[in-house]
């Protein structure tokens, strides 16, 4: 009977932890979706490489931002699936899906109360950073381009940080050439503010630990 009682308590504890984890993942996805949908995307400010490509799809083909954002992230994620564990793959798909739905809902039904591109840039970047930090605490990425950069760096033995920088940089330049050159400055500011928020919130509260289940050849 004692064993059954302990087992029941363990199951209840694991269930509560799973619910809390799922709630935080959803919260992080919604927060960053709110920042992008209300403050960044209306000014054509890309929060990252996938966001920049989503802006281009919207500019060229009037493709909805939410669908373009989901599609670009998913395509980037496909390049890294062979190296990811099941939990990381499914979790990241869930994150980009929740974020894309949030972008669509907030973008349609909410308008920025600030009305200034630079204030909106600040607000959107802060919210983006908060959302990413929440996701990182649960060991999930906020999109697929980071995984694509890691997969490329693993195959070609490049530095992953530099790989991600050049991938995002190339997309920002292309977006600026097509839409507006000011986008480069705004995108870099967005990156700097959001990553500063992430570093402050995450590194001061949580020790360094792996973000996802990255599998090597020996693991498969």
Report residue 98's pLDDT band, with 50, 70 and 90 as the boundaries: very high
In the prediction, which pLDDT does 104 show?
93
Share of the chain above pLDDT 90, in %: 32
In the prediction, which pLDDT does 220 show?
43
Q: What is the pLDDT of residues 169-219, one digit of tens each?
A: 888 899 989 988 888 899 989 988 988 888 888 666 555 444 444 455 444
In the prediction, which pLDDT does 128 show?
92
Which sequence spans correspond to the domains of the chain?
16-219
Answer whether residue 6 shows pLDDT above 70: no
Q: Is the dihedral of CA 59, 60, 66, 69 positive or negative?
A: negative
Among 30-44, 72-86, 140-154, the range scoring the smallest mean pLDDT is 140-154
Answer whether residue 165 shows pLDDT above 60: yes
- Can you give the three-state secondary structure of 172-192, one letter per residue? HHHHHHHCCCHHHHHHHHHHH
């Amino acid at each position: 009977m004692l064993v059954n009682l302990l087992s029941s308590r363990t199951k209840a504890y694991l269930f509560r932890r799973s619910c809390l984890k799922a709630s935080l993942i959803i919260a992080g996805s919604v927060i960053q979706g709110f920042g992008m949908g209300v403050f960044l995307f209306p000014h054509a400010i890309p929060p990252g490489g996938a966001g920049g490509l989503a802006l281009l799809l919207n500019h060229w083909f009037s493709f909805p931002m939410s669908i373009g954002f989901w599609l670009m992230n998913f395509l980037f994620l496909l390049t890294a699936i062979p190296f990811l564990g099941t939990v990381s793959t499914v979790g990241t798909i869930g994150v980009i899906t929740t974020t894309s739905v949030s972008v669509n809902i907030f973008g349609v039904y909410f308008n920025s109360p600030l009305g200034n591109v630079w204030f909106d840039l600040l607000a959107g970047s802060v919210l983006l950073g908060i959302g990413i930090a929440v996701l990182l605490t649960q060991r999930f990425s906020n999109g697929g381009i980071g995984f694509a950069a890691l997969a490329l760096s693993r195959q070609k033995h490049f530095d992953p940080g530099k790989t991600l920088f050049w991938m995002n940089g190339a997309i920002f330049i292309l977006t600026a050439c097509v839409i507006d050159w000011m986008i480069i400055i705004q995108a870099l500011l967005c990156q700097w503010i959001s990553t500063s928020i992430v570093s402050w919130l995450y590194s001061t509260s949580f020790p360094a630990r792996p973000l996802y289940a990255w599998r090597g050849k020996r693991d498969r």
